[in-house]
Structure 1
Amino acid sequence: MSQATTVLRESQLSVANGVAHFSHQRPSARNALSMELRADYQDMLAQVESDRGIRALVISGSGGSFCAGGDLKSLQALRNAEDPEARSPDAMRRRLQAGHVWMERLRSLEVPVIAAVDGPAVGAGFSIALAADFVLASTRAVFCMSFAKVGLVPDLGAFYFLPRVVGMARAKELALTARRVGAQEARDLGIVLAIHAPEDLEAQALRMAGRLAAGPREALGLTKNLFNRSFETPYATLAEMESQAQAVASAAPFHAQAIDAFLGGRPAAYDWDRQDA
């Protein structure tokens, strides 16, 4: 299996067999979302978006931590900056707006995204996990909307993602209490799809990504993005988007090959239920 690995500022990106694996690599800081890691996300997304050979993405942490959220040291530095503009409310607003640009790109990737959460996914780290299509967790995973603990409101898309996953009342409860949620409760709430032992988590995430990568790229990407828009789009508009998406999917080579295989009595190339899949 050939693998290409790019070492970024505080992360690394590996690509093999159609699966990209983006791993946070600052375990000494519990992979906090520093300005450097934010820049890494932009670089990673540019590569994944431009490489049609990439058909699934796995995001993970290192050293027993997914992402501890915003870098509080950098926030303190902003508060102590000599330049009034650097510590102004508008500077914070622009900082968050810049984060939303790449978070929207992450959410809208036209390939399945899997977050492999081992250890804490806290604050903005929790938001990143929620932006994935599927969250796989280790038995020691912990999720926390920790913002209230430091006198802040949830950010990096939490107001959008969390109520859509757990419902409005539970989203408010998790944000207002800033309490910790273990892997089993997160699964019960619908945040986590499956739980694995820490030593198996990454392999299981890559295995799932590999199976998804065998699917129809166009159809899966269109399906994902239509579901992403389902809660805020009127029926008539979504029906028109569905019709356009089906036109694209039906013209893709995968569809023609699948029909030929079915009519010729050959096994489907993409069959999740098949034993040897």
Structure 2
Amino acid sequence: MLDPIVEVRDLEAGIVQVTMQDRVNKNTFTDGLIGGLTAAFADIGARQDCKVVILTGYDSYFSSGGTQEGLRDLFEGKMKFTDKDLYSLALNCPIPVIAAMQGHGIGGGFVMGMFADFVILARESIYTANFMKYGFTPGMGSTFILPQKLGISLAGEMMLTASTYRGEELHKRGVPFPVVARDKVLEQALELARTLAEKPRFSLVTLKDHLVFPLRKQLAAFIEDEIAMHALTFHQPEVKQRIEAFFGK
């Protein structure tokens, strides 16, 4: 049997691990990955025995973001990134989410991880908000969550330049997350999850709801602004050329 694209596994009492493992597509946002993640978080949110989620990828990939086909659809106006909401899954999950980003986080894949309550990066892996590489402005709440999590200066640099950064470089730049060797990311995530799982679920849910309330409240306005910027920047002929020429490089 083939492994599921998204595997949900109970590790210990109260601790659930969600693993993205679409090896064929390197964890890009295919319909299969989107559907699997959406269903997984819906199920976990409804379970009363879950206290913390570890979200991770496989081998050297966390998530590679949008597919080339998806970017073409956005260019042609067939869809908006809000049609398939991955960015707020972790934010809206009632229990704490740890993004164990052991592998590369690219574009929307990187942003998705930043919406988690806790983030752990790998020294060897690449992280990038590379939307402008293709000539269009960032989406998925990037312009909101990246300054919140990384600081205005680094977030602005990442988005404007579309540069790639190794985890080790981000560590030197002072990101407020643990950055460890790739083979230690899940180990550290589990240690943190155990600390969280010691607490009553109701208390975890109550405190998370309080802590992320300002983020949930402010996000909608940024999403509207990003959609408006997409309407201005996405339909340039140069963007289509860049999607065809640069995707995956």
**Which category describes the TM-score, using the shorter chain as reference length?**
0.7 to 0.9
Which residue in the other structure is 2:93 paired with?
Answer: 109
Which residue in the other structure is 1:196 paired with?
Answer: 180
Which residue in the other structure is 1:119 paired with?
Answer: 103
Task: Return the offset for 1:224.
Answer: 2.0
Equivalent pairs counted in the alignment come to 215
SS at match of 1:92: coil
Task: Return the offset for 1:152.
Answer: 2.2
Which residue in the other structure is 1:206 paired with?
Answer: 190
Is residue 148–residue 178 contact of structure 1 (8 Å, CA) maintained in 2?
yes
After TM superposition, the structure 1 = structure 2 runs for residues 47-196 of structure 1, keeping only pairs within 5 Å, are 47-76=43-72, 78=73, 88-89=76-77, 91-93=78-80, 96-100=81-85, 102-188=86-172, 191=175, 193-196=177-180
Letter in 1 for 2:179: I
Cα distance 1:105–1:232, how it changes in 2: closer, same or farther (>3 A)? closer
1:26 to 22, 27, 40: 22
Is residue 118–residue 141 contact of structure 1 (8 Å, CA) maintained in 2?
yes
Task: Return the offset for 1:118.
Answer: 1.9
Which residue in the other structure is 1:14 paired with?
Answer: 9
TM-score, structure 2 length as denominator?
A: 0.77
Counterpart CA distance in 1 for 2:10 and 2:172 is: 32
Is residue 130–residue 191 contact of structure 1 (8 Å, CA) maintained in 2?
no
SS at match of 2:27: coil
Task: Return the offset for 1:189.
Answer: 5.1
Which residue in the other structure is 1:252 paired with?
Answer: none
Which residue in the other structure is 2:240 paired with?
Answer: none
**Runs of 5+ in structure 2 lacking a partner?**
218-249
1:222 to 201, 206, 212: 206
Counterpart CA distance in 2 for 1:222 and 1:184 is: 34
**Structure label with greater radius of gyration:** 1
Counterpart CA distance in 1 for 2:173 and 2:212 is: 19
